[in-house]
Structure 1
Amino acid sequence: MAEWCREHGWYADRYGDGELIESFEAKVAALLGKPAAAFMVSGTMAQLIALRIWCERAGHFRVAMHPTAHLELHEERAYARLHHLDSILLGPRDRPTLALDLAACHERIAALLIELPAREIGGRVPAWDELATLAALARERGVKLHLDGARLWEAREFYAPKTLAEIAALFDSVYVSFYKGIGALAGAMLLGSQDFIGEARVWRRRQGGTLVQLHPLVASAAMRFDAQLAKMPAYRARALALGRALSAIDGLIVEPQPPQVNLFHLHLPAPAEAVAKARDQLAALEGAWLAQRIGEAQVPGWSTIEVYVGDNLLALDDATVVPLYVRLLERARAAA
């Protein structure tokens, strides 16, 4: 990373001011078709800031989000505890939020958060027409639409040939992550209008996110950005092929099938504890790590693992990978 910075003549920022961070913010803003962007140390911070701004502008503090939104499940409800926001969980858990869900909501909301893709339901995304209809209804009702784009880089492949800018144009504000599909050390970016990002920079400082140097995080994202974006079509193509191959294993269920992005869920007819035990055994015996996240499925006695197709699975063919999942299932059933 230091060598890359020297080669390109980049130097450390100071409290978010510097050529590298400013040029990277401008690059991502142009790619997403937004007037301005601000680098953030985390997506949690970025999204709380976005919702707080929209609520203050609306004059009330109620927002809406999907029942599996990251803010609801994985952030200790920071939106409520830190910013005193009230949330409506909109629509059913097992599919993305649609216009019909917003139409059925009769409460006044300042902003609606949409995650593309929705990780907790297997990386599902709404069809383009469904997304556009939702955006139009939000505008009609004066509801600001915020995009949780933690995996927007991956979601874009589902909507191709639509561009990232065309997707982002449906939203009033956008958050993207750099440590997930891009592989940076950490970091995120919040995008929107000039005045919105001006307010976001104030809130970043209030929340302790304007570090004396953001340079290491920014550099780790900028140096990998173009190369990782170029891999996204191959990641999705590999996910489609792997999804087909795994669905042929008796007892395994791929969801959704076919996968919509390079992320999908694999359901196994064994409890999570048994699957974890089988995973650890195979890791010790064969040096293969087949599941990071293992949870109990909604069907009793079943479990769910998340499959994310990145560089590792891109480098392995089905003849190598599929037998490992066959053995995982056999060992999990034996341990159940």
Structure 2
Amino acid sequence: MKKISGHKKMSISEWFSVLAQYSEENNIDRDVYGNGKFLNEFESEMAKKFGMDKALFMPSGVMAQLMAIRIWSERKKNNRFSCHSTCHLTRHENNAYQELHGLSAVIYGKEHKVVSLSDIQTIGESISSVVIELPMRHLGGDLPEFEELRAISDYCRSKGIALHLDGARIFECIPFYQRPLSEIVALFDSAFLSFYKGIGSTSGSMLFGDTDFIDNAKIWLRRHGGNLFELFPLAVSAKYFFQKNECYFHEYFEKTKEFAEVISEFKSIHMIPSSPKTNMMHLLIPLSAAELAKKWDESPFGDLRMGNWGEVAPSVCRLEFVIGRASLEWSPQEFKEALNYLLK
């Protein structure tokens, strides 16, 4: 069955079979408490790709970002960090930064606008670090212009403020910026990557920074309970799917632009942002949650499900549409017919 959003999911048995073959072909060894030839070479390869000194693989992005802001707070001797109001740290983690680390968040910017230099310049409080998410998921994958990012980076460095990249979906940004990954990451002092989003693996993330930063992160990983006895089940999957899917992000973006042209023909659908910057967009569609679920269940076109953020107004749902490997199978005409079905 065709699927419109994201990647097709392997069955558990398929997943084990594929990774078993990959492990056999590549003679992958086991790791113990973060030490192992395969795991450490993977970390080194990714650090080189990001243009950072070192990288540290771990089970969870929540851990990675909490550790990052904690390390910067200790280095700068300041327990305040700043982030956008849509930041994962303040929206989705039950105030872990405060409850676990005693840190305070200072919010910058406006909820429905991408970060700007002015936002950072007018924070108004002494802070240890600034967190920027690229792309900004709650804004439909919107992005600031690269020169704006460069100006923010220059400003933070002039003020001694660490700049951390929430790069869970950083590979999705490369087609829009048309710059190498390392050039984007060079604007930041630390960065985080998720392996289960656009890369399509299972749980797993990586934290990047200078040598002292990562050495300190290893201590905090242990304190967070993330220094597991063995990480290879997550790490093998992460590397396999990274190698499999890294080359597709430009193709995802081209398909996104095709779909955006189709969506623009439907006056009743509102697209956020109005011109996609990545292979993600949010759609305001004139259907209630119940109507949408019924349409999805009865679809003759395959799986039309997207992330449903619920009703934002009576009979209007906000959907998160991510263009991935599964989406590439759809022609613009097939997509148009599917939208006509949803709206009729």
The residue number in structure 1 matching 2:284 is 267
Task: Tell me the secondary structure at the aligned position of residue 28 of structure 1.
Answer: helix
Specify every segment of 5 or more residues in structure 2 that has no aligned partner in the other structure, as ranges. Answer: 1-18
Looking at structure 2, the residues matched to 96 and 277 of structure 1 have their Cα atoms a distance apart, in angstroms, of: 34
Decide whether aligned partners of structure 1 residues 194 and 56 sit closer, same or farther in structure 2, where only a CA change above 3 A counts: same
Looking at structure 1, the residues matched to 242 and 306 of structure 2 have their Cα atoms a distance apart, in angstroms, of: 26
Q: Say if 2:12 is the partner of 1:12.
A: no
Task: Tell me the secondary structure at the aligned position of residue 208 of structure 1.
Answer: coil
Which amino acid letter does the alignment assign opposite residue 195 of structure 1?
A: D
The residue number in structure 2 matching 1:334 is none
Specify every segment of 5 or more residues in structure 1 that has no aligned partner in the other structure, as ranges. Answer: 331-336
186, 190, 193: which one pairs with 2:210?
Answer: 193
The residue number in structure 2 matching 1:149 is 167
Which amino acid letter does the alignment assign opposite residue 273 of structure 2?
A: P
**1:192-221 per-position Cα deviation (integer Å, ceiling 9, x unaligned):** 000000000110011000111000111101
Looking at structure 1, the residues matched to 298 and 108 of structure 2 have their Cα atoms a distance apart, in angstroms, of: 41
The residue number in structure 1 matching 2:272 is 255
Q: Say if 2:296 is the partner of 1:279.
A: yes
Q: Say if 2:137 is the partner of 1:119.
A: yes
**1:61-101 per-position Cα deviation (integer Å, ceiling 9, x unaligned):** 11111111111111112111111110011100112111101
Contact 2:47 2:55 in 1 (8 A): yes
Looking at structure 2, the residues matched to 294 and 109 of structure 1 have their Cα atoms a distance apart, in angstroms, of: 32
Deviation of the 1:136 alpha carbon:
0.8
Decide whether aligned partners of structure 1 residues 321 and 172 sit closer, same or farther in structure 2, where only a CA change above 3 A counts: same
Q: Say if 2:73 is the partner of 1:55.
A: yes
The residue number in structure 1 matching 2:325 is 311
**1:248-298 per-position Cα deviation (integer Å, ceiling 9, x unaligned):** 12311222122100000111133444333433343xx5432332323233x
Looking at structure 2, the residues matched to 39 and 277 of structure 1 have their Cα atoms a distance apart, in angstroms, of: 41
The residue number in structure 2 matching 1:75 is 93
Looking at structure 2, the residues matched to 291 and 193 of structure 1 have their Cα atoms a distance apart, in angstroms, of: 38
Equivalent residue runs for 1:23-102 within 5 Å: 23-102=41-120
128, 136, 157: which one pairs with 2:154?
Answer: 136
The residue number in structure 1 matching 2:243 is 226
Deviation of the 1:108 alpha carbon:
0.5
**1:115-159 per-position Cα deviation (integer Å, ceiling 9, x unaligned):** 000011100010001110111111111111000000001111111
Q: What stretches of structure 1 move > 4 A for 4+ residues in a row? A: none
Contact 1:122 1:256 in 2 (8 A): yes
Deviation of the 1:300 alpha carbon:
5.6
The residue number in structure 1 matching 2:8 is none
Deviation of the 1:227 alpha carbon:
2.7
The residue number in structure 1 matching 2:16 is none
The residue number in structure 1 matching 2:21 is 3
Looking at structure 1, the residues matched to 230 and 304 of structure 2 have their Cα atoms a distance apart, in angstroms, of: 35
Deviation of the 1:231 alpha carbon:
0.5
Contact 2:166 2:191 in 1 (8 A): yes
Contact 2:308 2:317 in 1 (8 A): no
Q: Say if 2:108 is the partner of 1:108.
A: no
> 320-329 vs 128-137, which deviates more?
320-329
Looking at structure 1, the residues matched to 326 and 199 of structure 2 have their Cα atoms a distance apart, in angstroms, of: 14
**TM-score where L is the length of structure 2:** 0.91
> 221-230 vs 136-145, which deviates more?
221-230
Which amino acid letter does the alignment assign opposite residue 250 of structure 1?
A: K
Looking at structure 2, the residues matched to 212 and 26 of structure 1 have their Cα atoms a distance apart, in angstroms, of: 20
Contact 1:290 1:325 in 2 (8 A): no
Deviation of the 1:223 alpha carbon:
1.5
What percentage of residue pairs aligned between the two structures are identical? 37
Which amino acid letter does the alignment assign opposite residue 303 of structure 2?
A: A
Looking at structure 1, the residues matched to 314 and 124 of structure 2 have their Cα atoms a distance apart, in angstroms, of: 35
Contact 2:292 2:342 in 1 (8 A): yes
Looking at structure 1, the residues matched to 117 and 340 of structure 2 have their Cα atoms a distance apart, in angstroms, of: 40
Task: Tell me the secondary structure at the aligned position of residue 236 of structure 2.
Answer: helix
Contact 1:123 1:261 in 2 (8 A): yes
Task: Tell me the secondary structure at the aligned position of residue 224 of structure 1.
Answer: helix
**What is the RMSD of the two structures over their aligned residues, measured on CA atoms?**
1.4
Contact 1:116 1:149 in 2 (8 A): yes
Contact 1:151 1:177 in 2 (8 A): yes
